[in-house]
Structure 1
Amino acid sequence: MSTLMVQGTTSDAGKSTLVTALCRWLRRQGVTVAPFKPQNMALNSAVTVDGGEIGRAQAVQAQACGLPAHTDMNPVLLKPNSDTGAQVIIHGRAIGNMNASRYHDYKPQARQAVLASHQRLAGACQVVMVEGAGSPAEINLRANDIANMGFAEAVDCPVILIADIDRGGVFAHLVGTLELLSPSERTRVRGFVINRFRGDLALLQPGLDWLEQRTGKPVLGVLPYLQDFHLEAEDAIDRRQAAKTGERLRVVVPVLPRISNHTDLDPLRLHPQVELSFVGAGEAIPPAELIVLPGSKSVRADLDWLRQQGWEPAILRHLRYGGRLLGICGGLQMLGERLDDPHGLEGPAGASPGLGLLEFSTRLAAQKQLRNVRGRLCLEDAIVSGYEIHAGVSAGPALARMAVCLDDGRGDGAISADGQILGTYLHGLFEQPGACAALLRWAGLAQVREVDYHALRERDIERLADQVEQHLDTARLRQLCGLSS
């Protein structure tokens, strides 16, 4: 068994990408490898084979390893529900909401969960590939750290430090991070990877030589900036879209303050016939054929915010002019008549009126629903697969016109009598080609090209492994993984 950790100089430096790449690269060589992130703060999550939830990035990394996602791959998940607090999930199960101070006091217990999960993975695989969180040089977070060097010191593993040259200041990021580490932590860093480089490598070489001379540590390689590349974001919204021609469906998504599982929209963003727009605070909702209300970690607060933006009358106007409206999970709950949170699970206890577009109400229950599911859409009887992550229990007459008939015999969601409004608890709704095509036709696109989203994701995981083989020092990487050269 061996453990190798990837830490970054900043958030979004490329930690998730590099771990995914290394996982698939090792798998190609017949090495049994598992991904691991001790602590993750993200609102994009996935349901695991053992019925819990972890960050979506670790679920994608599990795919790179050829493994089903498991709660041991991300034992601590923090899902922010305010600017100062988060729902704390340990081994896939929510244990409650904590503010930063309370969670700091809880960290010794969280550390036990982290080390137990790592030990189980290490006993089952040749290599555990670990992803850090944020930066290891956050001085105010060093005490009881379980996300970066605190974990690396506890399990005595080597560390690769990755930095994003596309941001600028890459040498300052790398050298500055090292300077802020303790002597033992600095020794633990065995090399650097520079990410997202564009241009002539020869022009960068003098800087690489200086970096190695200054730090005494090798540059393990320089990864190029990949065009037309997609990997599900850990948290940040990816707004990039390739140029699209011909008939296009205009889709608008309000960016709620606590938007969750916005990776649901990735298949639409990547579809050649969809023009996807994320609309933020202070922006008017532009003309569109389809508005999608996405998931939310704080549905009542996000609905209040949506109203403050003046978007409720815009949604009603969109419907009057024949537009389609889709609600996913929290977005489904917003479509109903009432939202009750008697236990204060997502904020202050209380109730709020919904948009009143479908005749049902939702009550938040302490036990969260976590399921991977399959079924058929009410539209064209198309096969759909996805996952449920919600505390809400919805009931009312509108649900008799179900949006999805699940294979386990349950009905899910609702479609309005006039067919304009559809709501569902299913995340991953657009990932099956047939379901995506049926929904786009429902929204108004006459001739739909079917796109296999899973094939696109697999293609890009393979591309990442190719980059490891072409641009990184694979002999040194094998040594760091405890493998023979």
Structure 2
Amino acid sequence: MRLKPPFPALMVQGTTSDAGKSTLVTALCRYYRRQGIAVAPFKPQNMALNSAVTIDGGEIGRAQAAQASACGLLPHSDMNPVLLKPNTDTTAQVIIHGKVLQNQSAVQYHDYKKVAKQAVLESWQRLSAQYQMLIVEGAGSPAEINLRAGDIANMGFAEAVDCPVILIADIDRGGVFAHLVGTLELLSASEQQRVIGFVINRFRGDIALLHPGLDWLEQRTGKPVLAVLPYLHDLYLEAEDALSTRHAQQGQTGAFHVVVPHLPSFSNHTDFDPLQLHPGVQVSFAKSPDQVAGADLIVLPGSKSVRSDLARLREQGWDTFIARHLRYGGKLLGICGGFQMLGKSIDDPLGLEGPTGQSAGLDLLDMQTVLQPEKCLRQTAGTFYGQATPVAGYEIHLGVSSGPALSQPLFSLAEGNDGAVSADGQVAGSYLHGLFDLPEACDALLHWAGCRQAQAPDFNALREAGIERLADCLATHCDFALLEARTAYSPPNQPAIPTK
């Protein structure tokens, strides 16, 4: 039975990146789902290389997919209508409603935001019509002065749709009171009124020692502290963008060693979360082979700019390291862009990921790849080729590969065969992201690579347990009566969302 929601929408903004916005939104989504409310997540604009494929064949930020799971929903492109995937420090692939629009420079996108705002509002209208409550995540900080003009990610969006805002800050990194007060001071008068309260995240220690600071903060700003959330040790939740090694096994004697070259456009880092959580595996992300003594398995990861990452791979000497690794009987696996690098060539005739041209591959699999404008986006499942072992994941790639190597595939998927395995069985590759997520698939791939410990964790169960733990923590430490009373306030004279 669905209950009446206490408010139609609530937005979480942070004083900094990684303040805990994604985590708090996830916790709120699960908390209100438990109350029998039809709730959905929303992030107007995201910049991330960790993305997920949606039920409608689009692409959104990975965090919004996790938040959808917290709501008991399949991810949809409306949950993150604008996704920016950086190609370089100054350009990004712009994705609108789950589909690639074009590559734009930072200046071009700044001018394009007027159009992007309409896409954001269209998605907002559709979700508002479907669900009783929307929990919204901001991006970065609302106090980025240089980005405030035409803002669609933080207060610009909240003002447009008349949405109350919670401001969250991370006390673990220090300066929490300066972060909160400083951020509030840099907002306009109407934006300051829109902030209904604060959440302090990742607190350790005796809460009694914090009370004088909380009292001062409330007197100084006139805003209540709605929650002080404790630091949750060993919590697993997928990272929104930055590579997370918090759960990696460190310094294990006799651990199976997986080495992943950390390339500039390394994407979909969450592919390696199941390996980092594996009790018998140690994962090393290294920018140079000089940083590792050796490896049992080398994995070339996904890449947003495959040809430029391949050039960096060679510059750092990884090609020589890989050749020596294979001579001594080691195994090599390529995922998506890393799979493309294993072939004879990668051709980008339209300049989709950078300058037009062709690059020689590592020539370890007899195949060629051509980048094409239509991106392959799909969730899929199947088995290892010729076996009954299940595998599941998703594909996000521009390239189409062809050649004799594909006649010996790695997987048999619903849409057809995928990937390739070399004749000697030492080299394999696949377009499938998430290929380690199922314990059976993880065990099979590690067994192929020489690891005999069948101890792969149930990755999906760990993710669900993490979401439940977050919701339990929030239920204990958040003053929901105060939160819901504060959301009843709406600043005067705010524009209503336009209707069609």
TM-score normalised by the chain length of structure 2 = 0.94
2:326 paired residue number: 319
* Contact preservation (8 Å) 2:249, 2:281: no
Q: CA deviation at 1:477?
A: 3.0
CA distance in 2, matches of 1:309, 1:20: 39
- SS of equivalent residue, structure 2 residue 454: coil
Amino acid at match of 1:440: L
Give the equivalent residue in structure 1 for 2:211: 205
The offset of 1:285, in angstroms, is: 3.6
What is the deviation of 1:377?
A: 1.4
Partner of residue 105, structure 1: 111
Which of 226, 229, 240 is equivalent to 2:232?
Answer: 226
Structure 2 CA distance for partners of 1:480 and 1:26, relative to 1, 3 Å: farther
Give the corresponding residue for 2:66: 60
Structure 1 equivalent of residue 255 of structure 2 = 248
Give the deviation of 1:169 after TM superposition.
0.5
Structure 2 residue aligned with 1:354, among 361, 367, 375? 361
Write out per-residue CA displacement over residues 219-258 of structure 1, whole angstroms, 9 at most, x where no aligned residue. 0111111111111111111112255756521001111101
- Is the contact made by 1:35 and 1:61 (CA closer than 8 Å) also made in structure 2? yes
Q: Sort the Cα spacing of 1:21 and 1:283 in 2 relative to 1 into closer, same or farther, 3 A.
A: farther
Identity percentage of aligned residues: 67
Given candidates 49, 60, 65, the residue that maps to 2:55 is: 49
Give a deviation string over 1:125-149, Cα, whole Å, max 9, x none: 1110000000000000000000000
User: Any idea what SS the aligned residue of 1:451 has?
Assistant: coil
- Distance of 1:187 and 1:317 partners within structure 2: 62
* AA aligned opposite 1:368: K
How far residue 447 of structure 1 moved from its aligned partner, in angstroms, is 2.8
Give the whole-Å Cα distance in 1 for the aligned partners of 2:335 and 2:47. 22
Question: Unaligned 5+ residue runs, structure 2?
Answer: 1-6, 490-500
466, 469, 484: which one aligns with 1:478: 484
* Unaligned runs of at least 5 residues, structure 1: none
The SS at the match of 2:448 is helix
* SS at structure 2 position matched to 1:446: coil
Q: What TM-score do you get using the length of structure 1 for normalisation? A: 0.97
Instruction: Kindly indicate whether residue 27 of structure 2 is the aligned counterpart of residue 27 of structure 1.
Output: no
Shift in Å at residue 440 of structure 1?
1.1
Note if contact 2:243-2:269 (Cα within 8 Å) is conserved in structure 1: yes
Partners of 2:133 and 2:410 in 1: CA distance:
43
C-alpha contact (below 8 Å) 1:328/1:423 kept by paired residues: yes
Letter in 2 for 1:100: A
Which of 185, 199, 208 is the aligned partner of 1:179? Answer: 185
Stretch deviating more after TM superposition (467-476 or 375-384): 375-384
Contact between 1:295 and 1:331, CA under 8 Å: does it hold in 2? yes
Partner of 2:242: 236
Q: Which residue of 2 aligns with 1:11?
A: 17
What is the CA–CA distance in structure 1 between the aligned matches of 2:483 and 2:37, rounded to whole Å? 13
Q: Residue 120 of structure 2 is aligned with which of 91, 114, 139?
A: 114
Residue correspondence of structure 1 range 237-316 to structure 2 within 5 A? 237-240=243-246, 241-242=248-249, 247-281=254-288, 283-316=290-323
Residue 131 of structure 2: aligned partner? 125
Mapped contact 1:285–1:314 kept (Cα < 8 A): no
Amino acid at match of 1:330: G
Partner in structure 2 of residue 376 of structure 1: 383
**Count of residue correspondences:** 482
Cα distance, 1:476 vs. partner? 2.4
Q: 1:427 to 1:21 in 2, by over 3 A?
A: same
- Using the TM superposition, give the Cα deviation of residue 282 of structure 1 relative to its aligned residue in structure 2, in angstroms: 7.8
- After superposition, give the CA deviation of every residue in 1:344-391 in whole Å (9 maximum; x if it has no partner): 000001110001100000000000000110111138531001000000
Distance in 1 between the 2:265 and 2:216 partners? 43
Cα shift readout 1:85-108 (whole Å, capped 9, x = no counterpart): 000000000010000111111111
Is 2:249–2:278's contact at 8 Å kept on the other side of the alignment?
Answer: no
1:149 is matched with which residue?
Answer: 155
Report if the CA contact (8 A) 2:289-2:318 is conserved: no
Look up the SS of the partner of 1:40 in the other structure. strand
Residue 99 of structure 2 corresponds to 93
